[in-house]
Amino acid sequence: MQLLLQSIVNGFVDGFGYVLMAVGLTLVFGIGRVINFAHGELYTLGAFLAVLFIGHQFPYFSTVFIAPILVGLLGIVIERFIIRRVKKPGLSIWAPFLATLALLVILQSLYLIIFGPDPQIVENPYAYDSINMGFLTITGQDLIVSILFFVVVFCLTWFIRKTRYGMAMRAVSQDRDTSLLMGIDIDTIYTLTWFLGVFLAALAGVLVTPKSTVDPYIGRMPLLKGLSIVIVGGLGSVEGAVVTGICLGLIESLASIYISPSFKDGWGYLLVILVLLFRPRGLLGRTVRRG
Amino acid sequence: MLAIEALTKRFGGVVAVDSVSFGVNAGEVVGLIGPNGAGKTTVLNLVTGFSRPSAGKVLFNGKEVTGTPPYALAKLGIVRTFQTTSLFSRMTVLENIRIGTHLRAGRRKSQAIGAILEEMSLAKFRDFAANSLPYGVQRRLEIAVALAADPKLLLLDEPAAGMNPEETHRLIEDLKLIIKKNITIILVEHNMRFVAQVCQRIVVLHRGRKIAEGVPGEVLELPQVIEIYLGKRRYA
Amino acid sequence: MGQRKRVDIAILCCLTLITFAIPWAVKSSFYIHILIMSAINAVLAIGLNLCMGFIGEKSLGHAAFYGIGAYTTAVLSVHFGLSGPLNLLAALFVTLVCALIIGIPSLRLRGPYFAIVTLGFVLILQLLVLNGGAFTGGPMGLPGIKRLTLPNILTGRPFTLSTDIQYYYAAVMCFWLAMIVSIVSINSRVGRAWLAIRENLDLAESVGISAFRYKLVAFLMGAGLAGLAGALYTHYTAFVSPRIVDTWVNVLLAAMVIVGGEGTLLGPVVGAVVLTALPEALRFAEGYRMLLFGVILLIVIMFAPQGIVGLAADLAKRRRRG
């Protein structure tokens, strides 16, 4: 029983991290129509920046806000100078997708060169403070992740529903041409979307660092899980990403206890394959398939 | 030859096609008309397998073909053209028609290609890229490609769209040629004069429902038909 | 016969001569190794090109078939002692069956979905291989694979391939098999159907071309070639490890096709040679190699998406006109 409760809590916390990754991906796809394969590398960058800052005695809470903003700025650069250039009508529709793939390679190799392949650790005072409720152990880091998750989701929802930019983003995701006609500055919206998406990925990276080691390859799994979640939840659907992300966290956690610990990472892919075979629109998405 | 029974298509909350039924006999030229948004192209998509009906049946020569994919229908002899110019744009006229003959075998293929090039007066454009042709010629090529697939039933989606009178006249000549080959034709169109000249029978759709059917001369005089085209002249 | 066809045939003849004559000129085993790997990668790239370039479906799972071919051969060799042509055929068979299983559901999906599902299959395969225990050798791989034994058509006695040069010729044979398969299919009714599907899928369907079926054919052909390449690779290196099924390999293969020029006949070959030989020749540390690789890929995508061969063709066209 205790095991069950603990694994549920762990599942939720993991799920929160996944949701942050997935929402970033789904925003960039839903609005910018690009699947960002380099998303995982931006997560890694967040983690590495955290290692750097904390290694230089920066306070943890500042890092949590500053690092993602810095990475978000990189996201803006990527969007303006690379993605925008390859979206021109003359090039194939695959160009942005492939460009992000190239970015993945470039970023990962840069991390290898700059930081080296060895795992690094981040010292975080909260990671080991835990609240022991007898039947449940919640670490300080878990609490931080959970609180931040709700804060982020709340802010994002408010932003998308209540602010002008948020509504413009929704308009662009539904109908680009009409949005243009209505005077929405699409370029700014794309840039803003990339900033937000990348910010979220980096935030996930920063939040994960205290719990595990950091090396150039840590971005791979979050990317793939993020992709799985986005597809199952529906490309472009933020609600779908939230629901699916949390579910995935729970499924992984429970399955590794009750079914198989070594297949933990595979559940996401299995889920994607099953959903795509039987309900290609995803659980809450709106794109259509054609054979 | 073709029978449509209670064909219905719903998109979310919208009913684009509402229980439409009509039949087409072999050798006929039937027109499907109606104002924009009446559901004409949707019906076409449903019949030719590009869209799945929410309800209803499509029967071809007595056999049910509802929901059969386009390539299988082509094998049965049902071929269509598209509303917006649809060609293999970077390929030559010859290559376009050759792909059209995909289903034909061996020697009959080259014979058919040659014959179609001649009949549709496209021989002189043989090696031109499809996207370099003038509009009227492109539309003619579309029909040529469809003919290359050896159809028994040809469905044309607004073939006269955007054509000047000279091109329209040419189109009518082409249609007469097709009729002579014993190919049944269903025509989706806007151009009333064109429809009245070419079709033996017309079916009128409005907001997804069939509101009239019959000989053009009579149907186009019906008050309900004139009403949906408020402002248009009467056609004798 | 058009001028372009004459140029193509001339290039192919030169290529034939070069590939068969190389061992006389090159003696260093290091370079032979690079050439063997280039040939194997070319087979993979040609197979992927059929899928990506000709029908337009970007598959991120091609390496899976390479891995399946490699592991089937390895398992049959280590656990059952097979090492002859039967082994190659078995690898081919298993790969094709897997390709059917993966392809039939996936090819009904559009663009990005297809790419991601194929990626998912690679990952599941990798997990299976890693957790296969003694059967697949787990994370450490499976060593001790027997060398390839082929029947000698002339004398009837089987001979075992053991020197690098012999494996080079085997790889070249495999390469030409892939080229022939590629050339024949592209110029056939099947190839025309592929082009039609790529140019205008709806129109192709309306004249009787089943997009799904022809996509499946291209997918299967590509997979089969990859499986064969995997089998050959395993016999050559006498070792197989899960690194073969890494997502990284997929990106590498996709890059070969794109940099070389997708949808062209020689593109994947050029891409494979350039992207196999270049990193080896440069002999940088792994990080710098990857960086260079990524930069080249990005530059090609942004400025020359037709790839090297496509670029060359465009320049030739421009010169002919002006």
pLDDT, averaged across chain A: 81
Shortest Cα–Cα distance, B146 to chain C (Å): 7
pLDDT tens, position by position, C260-299: 887 788 888 888 988 888 777 666 677 788 888 888 888 8
Backbone angles phi, psi at B11, to 5 degrees: -115, 95
Q: Inter-chain contact A82–C298, Cβ cutoff 8 Å?
A: yes
- Residues of chain C neighbouring B69 (CB-CB closer than 8 A): 205, 210
Q: According to the model, what pLDDT value does residue A71 have?
A: 92
Residue linked to tokens 């029967």:
B59
- Alpha-carbon distance of A122 to A212, in angstroms, equals 8
Q: Specify whether the CB–CB gap between C278 and C288 falls below 8 A.
A: no
Q: According to the model, what pLDDT value does residue A31 have?
A: 85
Q: Is the pLDDT of residue A42 over 90?
A: yes
pLDDT tens, position by position, A229-266: 888 887 777 888 888 899 888 888 888 887 777 777 77
Give CA angle at B85 (B80, B91), nearest 5°.
95
Axis-axis angle for helices A140-162, A186-208 (nearest 10)? 170
Q: Encode burial over C129-158: b for 16+ CB neighbours within 10 A, e otherwise.
A: bbbbeeebbeeebbeebbebbeeeeeeeee
Q: Shortest CA distance to C234 belongs to which of C182, C288, C286, C170?
A: C170
Considering only the beta carbons, identify the residue of C192, C195, C208 that sits closest to B74: C208
Q: Is the pLDDT of residue C155 over 80?
A: no
pTM over 0.90: no
**Confidence class for position C135, pLDDT limits 50, 70, 90:** confident
Give CA angle at C158 (C155, C164), nearest 5°.
110
- Alpha-carbon distance of A10 to A26, in angstroms, equals 24
Shortest Cα–Cα distance, B130 to chain C (Å): 12
- Alpha-carbon distance of A190 to A173, in angstroms, equals 10
- Alpha-carbon distance of B58 to B48, in angstroms, equals 10
Helices marked H in chain A — which ranges? 2-32, 39-55, 60-78, 84-86, 95-115, 140-162, 164-174, 176-181, 186-208, 220-233, 238-258, 266-278
- Alpha-carbon distance of A83 to A100, in angstroms, equals 8
Considering the domain delimited by A2-278, tell me its CATH architecture. Orthogonal Bundle (1.10)
Extract the tokens encoding A3. Answer: 């095991």
- Alpha-carbon distance of C112 to A234, in angstroms, equals 13
Considering only the beta carbons, identify the residue of B80, B90, B95 that sits closest to C206: B80
pLDDT tens, position by position, B63-114: 888 889 999 999 999 999 998 888 998 889 999 999 988 888 777 788 888 8
Q: Is the pLDDT of residue C142 over 80?
A: no
pLDDT tens, position by position, A142-185: 778 888 888 888 888 888 888 888 888 888 877 777 777 777 78
**Interval A201-210 mean pLDDT:** 86
Q: Specify whether the CB–CB gap between C211 and C107 falls below 8 A.
A: no
Residue type, C318: R
Axis-axis angle for helices A266-278, C85-106 (nearest 10)? 60
Q: Is the pLDDT of residue A200 over 90?
A: yes
Domain C3-321 falls in which CATH fold? ABC transporter involved in vitamin B12 uptake, BtuC (1.10.3470)
Q: Shortest CA distance to C236 belongs to which of C142, C140, C145, C157?
A: C145
- Alpha-carbon distance of A207 to A50, in angstroms, equals 9
Shortest Cα–Cα distance, C197 to chain B (Å): 9
Residues 6+ positions from C86 with CB-CB distance below 8 Å: none
Q: Specify whether the CB–CB gap between A252 and A291 falls below 8 A.
A: no
Calculate the dihedral angle through the C-alpha atoms of C70, C72, C76, C79, rounding to the nearest 10 degrees.
90
Query: Which residue on chain B is closest to C189 by alpha carbon?
Result: B102
Q: According to the model, what pLDDT value does residue A126 have?
A: 60
Q: Inter-chain contact A273–C305, Cβ cutoff 8 Å?
A: no
Interface residue A125 vs chain C (CB under 8 A): no
Considering only the beta carbons, identify the residue of C113, C131, C287 that sits closest to A112: C287
- Alpha-carbon distance of B181 to B185, in angstroms, equals 11
Q: According to the model, what pLDDT value does residue A93 have?
A: 63
Residues 6+ positions from B172 with CB-CB distance below 8 Å: B194, B197, B198
Q: Specify whether the CB–CB gap between A32 and A190 falls below 8 A.
A: yes
Domain regions of chain C by residue span: 3-321
Strand-pair partners of C322:
none
Give Cα separations from C139 to A222, B33, C129, C237, C243 (angstroms).
Answer: 21, 67, 8, 17, 9
Domain regions of chain A by residue span: 2-278
A contact test, residue of C109, C123, C130, C275 with most A CBs within 10 A: C123
Extract the tokens encoding C257. Answer: 């096709």
- Alpha-carbon distance of C262 to C54, in angstroms, equals 8
Chains within contact range of chain C (3+ C-beta pairs < 8 Å):
A, B
Q: According to the model, what pLDDT value does residue C94 have?
A: 92
Q: According to the model, what pLDDT value does residue A69 have?
A: 93
**Interval C11-31 mean pLDDT:** 80
pLDDT tens, position by position, B96-108: 999 988 888 777 7
Query: Which residue on chain C is closest to A88 by alpha carbon?
Result: C302
